[in-house]
């Protein structure tokens, strides 16, 4: 962290403004070397006051590269907690590159991915959960994902983990008193007090894990698989839900072979929808593979849309073969236009409604026409309702990510062992080891005890300039 880094912080391409960011001990000096207040080259002010906006020009000797705004921020009141300068230039690939190259020629180093945020973490301006939230905010694909990322960025998860960690640290210090001064500690009932603290921390860790299980799909997307026999209109429905033509629709059965997957937002909730090959008996090798893949997607899905058309007849066995028993299912009868006219009057000579096994009686059952856009809005509402109705999240709720969850599971292991030790009246030294391990394990979440590997994995996923 002894050198000064620079990078283009805004996306490549043309735009209104492009920002170049410099951070490190030489940031002010380097910026002053390329900046002048006037066209003719009146030098930069000797001292760049913090948090002010300077208008001027970036110059390479006599050549003016661009007219810019320059914003110096003295550490620690900056993103990285170091001296930072942001240069707002016109956004074009060439102009930004030229300014960056000029900065590099004056002694700055091109930053690595996520290095600005990593410096903020290493200077303890933010913890690891907040750093991860920065990436989550950038990558958020839905309102809900953004909401949770933003609250994590404000330090909500960090604070809650710290509370648990502090409880354990407090307990550990009492245990250590008992170890060091066994005579004086007779009055200190560490075991009773310890068991109670352990229970509180265990309950909270479990609640966090549950929150991950319940709600991580709000970050990653609820998985929906559309399945059914060939030609019932699965691809047509996929396109309707996406509101664009993604899946190929033809009157020929067996058109969709590879599963087609796409992310979509419904009512601010992210979904990942998969259109699958129609399931039926076939000799076509490609179709057989497609059907196997379809079954995998159905198995993994959080919700299955089981599609039929008028005239479909399904036996118990057939239905079971297509959808595993424990799935959340919405039955969707498509091509309702063949049965009713737009006013809901039955058409003469209409095909009969699908005949389904008794097991389907209690499942939600909707009638749509993917071709004529009938009942799609109701289907969307039903999908969102079924998937998120149980989810009453407070605004300050946190959703631990997979890394946090794994650390919590590991912590629970140490805490369970600590409880056993208390129960079996093992020596205090053993309890102290379990407590230390659980404290360290919680510390990997906030970064207090995270290894270099963990840090690298997290920050390498950032873009350059962040």
Judged by the rule CB under 5 A, the positions of this chain that interact with Mg ion are: 234-235, 255-256
Please check whether residue 327 is in contact with residue 226, taking contact to mean a CB–CB distance below 8 angstroms. no
**How far apart are CB 394 and Mg ion at their closest, in Å?**
41
255 binds ligand GDP (CB under 6 A): yes
- Give dist(CA 91, CA 98) in Å, integer: 12
Instruction: Check if the beta carbon of residue 100 is closer than 8 Å to that of residue 65.
Output: no
Checking phi first, is residue 77 left (phi over 0); if not, alpha (psi -120 to 50) or beta?
beta
By a kind-dependent CB cut-off of 5 to 8 A, residue 288 interacts, out of Mg ion, ligand GDP, none, with none
- Chosen residue from 4, 142, 211, 236 binding ligand GDP by CB under 6 A: 236
Q: Is 405 in the site for ligand GDP (CB under 6 A)?
A: no
Q: Hey, is 319 helix, strand or coil?
A: helix
254: left (phi over 0), alpha (psi -120 to 50) or beta: left
Which one, 155 or 230, has the nearer CB to ligand GDP?
A: 230
Distance CA 195, CA 214 (A): 28
Question: What are the tokens at 343?
Answer: 């006013």
78 φ/ψ angles, rounded to the nearest 5 degrees:
-150, 175
Which partner, ligand GDP, Mg ion, none, binds residue 335 by CB below 5 to 8 Å per kind? ligand GDP
d(CA 272, CA 238): 11
Task: Read off the DSSP letter of residue 338.
Answer: G
* Residue among 228 and 400 whose Cβ is closer to ligand GDP: 228
Question: Can you list the positions of beta strands (E) in 240-302?
Answer: 260-266, 269-275
Query: In angstroms, what is the minimal distance from the CB of 354 to ligand GDP?
Result: 14
Residue number, nearest CB to Mg ion: 256
Q: Which does residue 338 bind out of Mg ion, ligand GDP, none, counting CB within 5 to 8 angstroms by kind? A: ligand GDP
Distance of closest approach, residue 354 Cβ to Mg ion, in angstroms: 18
Residue 396's binding partner among Mg ion, ligand GDP, none (Cβ under 5 to 8 angstroms by kind) is none
Q: Does 91 bind ligand GDP (CB under 6 A)?
A: no
State the binding partner of 337 from Mg ion, ligand GDP, none, CB within 5 to 8 A by kind. Answer: ligand GDP
* Exposed e or buried b per residue across 42-77, where buried means at least 16 C-beta atoms within 10 angstroms of its C-beta: eebeeebeeeeebebbbbeeeeebbebebbbbbbee
Can you tell me which of 78, 111, 231, 367 binds ligand GDP, judged by CB under 6 A?
Answer: 231
- What does residue 374 show for φ and ψ, rounded to 5 degrees? -105, 130
Give the range of 10-18, 103-111, 245-253, 346-354 binding ligand GDP by CB under 6 A. Answer: 245-253
Could you say which of 7, 99, 370, 432 contacts ligand GDP (CB under 6 A)? 370
Distance of closest approach, residue 229 Cβ to ligand GDP, in angstroms:
7
- Partner interacting with residue 192 (select from Mg ion, ligand GDP, none; CB below 5-8 Å by kind): none
Q: Quick one: which of 18, 24, 56, 233 contacts ligand GDP (CB under 6 A)? A: 233
Q: Which of 398, 390, 414, 360 is nearest to 159 (CA)?
A: 398
Exposed e or buried b per residue across 200-232, where buried means at least 16 C-beta atoms within 10 angstroms of its C-beta: ebbebbeebbebbeebbbbbebbbbbbbbbbbb
Nearer to ligand GDP, 269 or 370 (CB): 370
Question: Which stretch in 246-254, 315-323, 342-350, 395-403 sits in contact with ligand GDP by CB under 6 A?
Answer: 246-254
Binding-site partner at residue 118 among ligand GDP, Mg ion, none, CB < 5 to 8 Å by type: none
- Angstrom CA distances, 285 to 46, 61, 224, 247, 257, stand at 75, 68, 26, 21, 10
Ranges within 263-322 binding ligand GDP (CB under 6 A)? 278
CA–CA dist 86, 91 (Å, integer): 14
**Of residues 117 and 236, the one with the C-beta less far from ligand GDP:** 236
Question: Taking CA 112 as the corner, what is the angle to CA 14 and CA 20, rounded to the nearest 5 degrees?
Answer: 35
Side-by-side strand order, sheet with 35-36: 35-36, 54-60, 63-73, 84-91, 15-23, 5-8, 109-110
Site size for ligand GDP (CB under 6 A): 21
If the CB atoms of residues 50 and 255 are measured against Mg ion, the closer one turns out to be: 255
Q: How far apart are CA 297 and CA 259, in angstroms?
A: 8
Q: How far is the CB of 157 from ligand GDP (least distance, A)?
A: 42
Distances in Å between the Cα of 233 and the Cα atoms of 225, 255, 296, 333 are 13, 11, 20, 10
| 256 near ligand GDP, judged by CB under 6 A | yes
**By the rule CB under 6 A, 353 interacts with ligand GDP:** no
Write the CB contacts of 117 (distance below 8 Å, at least 6 apart in sequence).
Answer: 79, 126, 131, 134, 459, 462, 466
Which of 81, 374 has the CB closer to ligand GDP? Answer: 374
For the CB of residue 226, give the shortest distance to ligand GDP in the complex, in Å. Answer: 8
Instruction: Kindly state whether residue 354 participates in binding ligand GDP, applying the rule CB under 6 A.
Output: no
Residue 198 interacting entry, from ligand GDP, Mg ion, none, C-beta within 5 to 8 Å by type: none
Residue 33 tokens, joined: 């070397």
What is the closest distance, in whole angstroms, from the C-beta atom of residue 352 to ligand GDP in the complex? 15
Output the smallest distance, CB 301 to Mg ion, in A. 17
- What are the residues binding ligand GDP (CB under 6 A)? 230-236, 249-251, 255-256, 278, 334-335, 337-338, 369-372
């Amino acid at each position: 962290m002894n050198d000064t880094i620079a990078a283009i912080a805004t996306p490549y391409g043309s735009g209104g403004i492009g920002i170049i960011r410099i951070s490190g001990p030489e940031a002010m000096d380097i910026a002053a070397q390329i900046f002048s207040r006037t066209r003719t080259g009146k030098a930069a002010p000797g001292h760049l006051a913090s948090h002010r906006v300077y208008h001027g020009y970036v110059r390479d000797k006599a050549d003016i590269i661009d007219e810019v705004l320059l914003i110096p921020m003295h550490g620690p009141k900056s993103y990285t907690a170091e001296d930072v300068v942001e240069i707002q230039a016109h956004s074009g690939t060439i102009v930004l590159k030229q300014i960056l190259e000029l900065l590099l020629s004056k002694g700055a180093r091109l930053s690595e991915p996520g290095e600005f945020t990593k410096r903020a973490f290493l200077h303890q301006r933010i913890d690891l959960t907040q750093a991860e939230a920065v990436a989550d905010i950038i990558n958020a694909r839905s309102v809900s994902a953004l909401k949770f990322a933003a609250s994590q960025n404000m330090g909500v998860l960090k604070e809650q983990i710290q509370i648990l960690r502090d409880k354990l640290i407090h307990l550990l210090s009492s245990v250590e008193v008992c170890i060091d001064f066994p005579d004086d500690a007779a009055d200190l009932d560490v075991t009773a007090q310890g068991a109670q603290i352990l229970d509180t921390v265990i309950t909270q860790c479990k609640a966090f894990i549950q929150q991950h299980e319940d709600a991580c799909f709000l970050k990653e997307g609820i998985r929906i698989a559309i399945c059914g026999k060939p030609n019932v209109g699965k691809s047509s429905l996929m396109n309707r839900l996406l509101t664009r033509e993604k899946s190929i629709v033809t009157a020929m059965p067996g058109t969709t072979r590879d599963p087609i997957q796409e992310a979509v937002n419904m009512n601010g909730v992210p979904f990942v929808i998969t259109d699958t090959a129609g399931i039926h008996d076939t000799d076509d090798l490609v179709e057989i593979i497609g059907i196997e893949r379809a079954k995998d997607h159905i198995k993994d899905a959080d919700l299955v849309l089981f599609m039929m058309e008028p005239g479909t007849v399904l036996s118990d066995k057939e239905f079971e073969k297509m959808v595993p028993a424990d799935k959340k299912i919405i039955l969707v009868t498509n091509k309702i236009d063949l049965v009713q006219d737009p006013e809901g009057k039955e058409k003469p000579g209409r095909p009969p409604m699908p005949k389904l096994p008794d097991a389907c009686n209690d499942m939600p059952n909707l009638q749509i026409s993917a071709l004529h856009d009938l009942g799609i809005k109701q289907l969307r509402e039903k999908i969102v309702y079924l998937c998120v109705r149980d989810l009453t999240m407070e605004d300050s709720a946190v959703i631990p990510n997979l890394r946090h969850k794994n650390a919590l599971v590991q912590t629970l292991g140490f805490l369970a062992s600590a409880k056993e030790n208390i129960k079996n009246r093992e020596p205090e030294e053993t309890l102290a080891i379990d407590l230390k391990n659980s404290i360290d394990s919680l510390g990997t979440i906030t970064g207090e005890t995270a290894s270099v590997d963990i840090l690298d994995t997290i920050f390498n996923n950032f873009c350059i300039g962040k």
